[in-house]
Amino acid sequence: MGGPGPGSVALITGGTGGFGRALTERLRASDVTVVLADLDTPTARTTAADLGAHFVPLDVTDRAANRAVVEAVEGEHGRLDAAFLNAGIAGRPEGLLDVDDFLRVVDIDLLGVVYGTEAVLPALRRAGGGAVVVTASLAGLSPMPGDPGYSVAKAGAVAFVRSMAPRLAGEGITITAICPGFADTAIIDPIREHFDAAGFPVLTADEVAAAMEAAWTAGEPGAAYVVQPGVGALPYRFQGVPSAKTAAGETARLPSALLPPSAR
C-alpha cells in the first residue's frame, strides 16, 4: 500500500469540517490531490477552494450518491488511493431518549461509513490497493451517557472496521478507525464552555489529522487508534473473550467456512 505523495488521490467525506480542513492541509503539503465531499453550501465550496482542494457535493446517507461521487473522482483524477470517511454529527442530549434523533445520528455516523466503504472499494481495487480511514470516536470504545445515538454509531463503526479488515487485507486494502477524545471542532460548541471552565484539555484538529494521515501510511488492518491530548495516537488493545471448549476441554476452533479466506 502506498502513502501520500504526488499522483495519489484522497477523498475526504465531511471534508470541510475541522478534521477535514486540517487533514487537507497536511495532504496538500505532500502534493496529494484532495477531493472534499460535503453538503453543498457556498461556505463548503469556498473552503475547498481556499485549501487548494476539489469539491463534490455529497449527502453520505444517500447510498447511490456515494457511488456517484467515487465515479466522479475516478473520472476526473483517474484513480483513488485513500478514502477518509469522516462525516459525522453528534446527537441532541435533551430528554431520556429521542429515537428520531438517535436514528438520524446512526444514519450519518454509521450507515454513511458503510455506504462510503461500499462505494470506494472498487476504485481502491482498481488502484492496486489503498486505505480506508474511518473517523470513529472515543465514545465508540467508552460510551457517552449523554448521547446514546452517537455512542452506538461510533461503536458500530469500530466493529465494522474490525470485521472488514481481514476481508480486505489480502487485496492490499487497509481499513482502520481513528477514535479521538474531545477535540476543538464545531461538534463540541454546545458544551465548549464546560471544558473551558474545567480546564479540560481538548485535541487540536491537526493532532487528529496527523493520526488520520498516519493511518493511511502505516495503519494496522482493523486497528482502532485512540487519540488523546498529551498521549498522541495509540492502538487500542481489545480484551479477548473466553473461547468455547470441546468436550475434551480443548479450545474449539471456528469452522473454516465461517472465516474470511485470509484467515483459513
Residues classed as catalytic: 150
Q: Are strands 173-180 and 33-38 parallel, antiparallel or unpaired?
A: unpaired
Residue environment code for 69-81, b if the CB has 16+ CB neighbours within 10 A, otherwise e: bbebbbeebebbb
81 close to 9: Cβ distance less than 8 angstroms: yes
Q: Which of 55, 215, 209, 72 has the alpha carbon at shortest distance from 130?
A: 215
CA 97/CA 197 separation, integer angstroms = 28
239 close to 233: Cβ distance less than 8 angstroms: no
Tracing cell 490497493 back to the chain, one arrives at 129
Q: Are strands 9-13 and 82-85 parallel, antiparallel or unpaired?
A: parallel
